Amino acid sequence: EREQALATADHPAVTTDGRVVPVMANVGSVQDARDARGADGSGLVRTEVLFGDRRTAPTTAEQAEVFRKIAAAFEGKPITIRTWDIGGDKPLPFLPQAAEANPFLGERGLRVFRHRPELLRDQLQAVREVALETPVQVMFPMVTTAEEVAWGIEILDALGPQPAGLKVGIMVEVPAAALRIDSLALGLDFVSIGTNDLTQYTTAADRTNTAVAALADGLDPAVLLLIDHVVRHVPTGVHVAVCGDLASDPSAAALLVGLGVHELSAVGPQIPLVKARIRRISFEYARHTAAEALTQSSAADVRYLLGAVS
């Protein structure tokens, strides 16, 4: 099955009834980008991983150089650069943070930059430079309110007129953001659902704590209901992607397509398998399965449903 999937990796992922689903790659290094067979671009560049070994903050020029290499690996297909997503389980040596009692509920992602805007500005400048040459999407992580989104966009807009090749979006990984997607996503080009954190915050189960790993299950119907809410309430024309790990599981990926998600982003080795699965299902059938999944009472029941139909 893997061999068959690899042989067709470069073919588009289209359901049997014609729905095209771009399958992008999650990358944390230039090598990840070069290794991503069959990807339609990158749906998530984790910049805090890309520069995670730096003792000092990379300059705008240094960041732009690495972004260019990633864009080159995808041969002009779009890349989605996520602004620094630090805090929680991801410290950065050049941005020391005060100890917090609950780091996952503390200064994470975009929140960190409210008092360090210059670091965000430098990064956004690098994004803008590369967007003049190749299609780039930029997204802000860990946003909760429309005010935070407006603040991030204000920092971006203050750098000058938006390059034609630049699209702007947010990650949806906080339940409050999912529930208010109608106002948070107003005026954006896209949103990308981070199921890893969305699951953690929906189930109140630390994604790094193995003792509660069974609770932190992305197939929990509560998580699926939030994804369904996002797809239904996102402003017209705003593209919905999923870049959390749920999109790397072929069965779950088919379910996400059925929920109406437009685009997926998976870890490199899973891309051919996810694409192969999408080519085997009809959108109609996926929609039916997704509707059924939303009525289940546990992640185990959803998994059983997916197993029975795949």
Question: Rounded CA gap, 23 and 77, in Å?
Answer: 12
* Of 196, 267, 285, 296, the one binding ligand PEP by CB under 6 A: 196
- Using rule CB under 5 A, residue 220 touches Mg ion: no
- Using rule CB under 5 A, residue 87 touches Mg ion: no
- Residue 42 binds which entry of ligand PEP, Mg ion, none, CB below 5-8 Å type-dependent: none
> Which SS3 state, helix, strand or coil, does residue 305 take?
helix
CB 22 within 8 A of CB 29: no
CB 143 within 8 A of CB 174: yes
- The backbone torsions φ and ψ at residue 183, rounded to the nearest 5 degrees and listed phi first, read -90, -35
**Structure tokens given for 244:** 């959390």
* Of 42, 123, 134, 195, the one binding ligand PEP by CB under 6 A: 195
- Using rule CB under 5 A, residue 263 touches Mg ion: no
- Using rule CB under 6 A, residue 108 touches ligand PEP: no
Stretch 20-49: interaction string toward ligand PEP, x if CB under 6 A: ------------------------x-x---
- Using rule CB under 6 A, residue 249 touches ligand PEP: no
- Using rule CB under 5 A, residue 197 touches Mg ion: yes
CB 27 within 8 A of CB 33: yes
Which residue is nearest to ligand PEP, using beta carbons?
Answer: 194
- Using rule CB under 5 A, residue 194 touches Mg ion: yes
Which residue is nearest to Mg ion, using beta carbons?
Answer: 197
Question: Rounded CA gap, 31 and 73, in Å?
Answer: 9
Q: In b/e form, how buried is each residue of 278-293, taking b as 16+ CB within 10 angstroms?
A: bbebebebbeebbebb
> Where do contacts with ligand PEP occur on this chain (CB under 6 A)?
44, 46, 85, 173, 194-197, 243-244
Q: Interface with Mg ion by CB under 5 A: which residues? A: 173, 194, 197
